[in-house]
Amino acid sequence: MNSYLTSVKKQFEYYKSLGEKTIDQLPDEMLFWIPATESNSIAMIVKHLHGNMLSRWTDFLTADGEKEWRKRDTEFNNDTTTKPAAMAQWNQGWECLFNTIDTLKETDLEKVVYIRNMGHTVIEAINRQLCHYSYHIGQIVFLGKMIQNQKWQTLSIPKGASEQYNSDKLLKDKRTQHFTEDL
């Protein structure tokens, strides 16, 4: 089970890096661009992730994951106005998550924690957040690709390069490691 905690931390780190590599490609003002009236800007998604992370990971084992102090609806106001402010939210949220993950032990994994009074094992709660964050990181990447268009620098296998990528990977000996260690 310790391998679960190590693996899930690497997964979170991977999604964090995808978001950061996207944001790094963008002009600062494009963090606040909203493509359609019912859409969110990257800054709004960052603000939502920040609120969710602080709520879910603060006092993770002892308090409901939906904190009374969280104001979820305000997370979707496009009122973050600078890239440094957005990145401060980004970093604070991830720091809260990683600090909590780093304190967990194998013996915690089957404990029950609550989110809006619904019980989850620690594993289920972690998996829930991993899926939630990857969903929103995917939105950030998609918005980045829309914004950058022809200037976009891929974060994965470039179009038309799958055959070469697979060939290179298959030339290596079989091994056991987290996929993020071989990107």
**For position 171, what pLDDT does the model report?**
85
**For position 21, what pLDDT does the model report?**
98
What are the pLDDT digits (tens) for 117-169?
999 999 999 999 999 999 999 999 999 999 999 999 999 988 899 998 888 88
Q: How confident is the model at residue 49 (pLDDT cuts 50, 70, 90)?
A: very high
**For position 20, what pLDDT does the model report?**
98
Q: How confident is the model at residue 179 (pLDDT cuts 50, 70, 90)?
A: confident
Distance set, CA 22 to CA 6, 34, 100 (Å): 25, 16, 25
Has residue 96 got a pLDDT over 70? yes
Domains of the chain by start residue, with CATH: 2-153 (1.20.120.450)
**For position 64, what pLDDT does the model report?**
97
Mean pLDDT of 87-114: 98
Q: Chain-centre distance of CA 84, in angstroms?
A: 18
89, 80 Cβ separation under 8 angstroms: yes
Pairing mode, if any, of strands 112-115 and 118-121? antiparallel
For residue 174 the two structure tokens come to: 């079989």
Task: Please provide the average confidence, as pLDDT, over all residues in the chain.
Answer: 95
Phi and psi of 64, rounded to 5°?
Answer: -55, 140
Q: How confident is the model at residue 182 (pLDDT cuts 50, 70, 90)?
A: confident
Has residue 181 got a pLDDT over 60? yes
**For position 1, what pLDDT does the model report?**
53
Radius of gyration of the chain (CA): 18
Does the pTM surpass 0.85? The reply is: yes
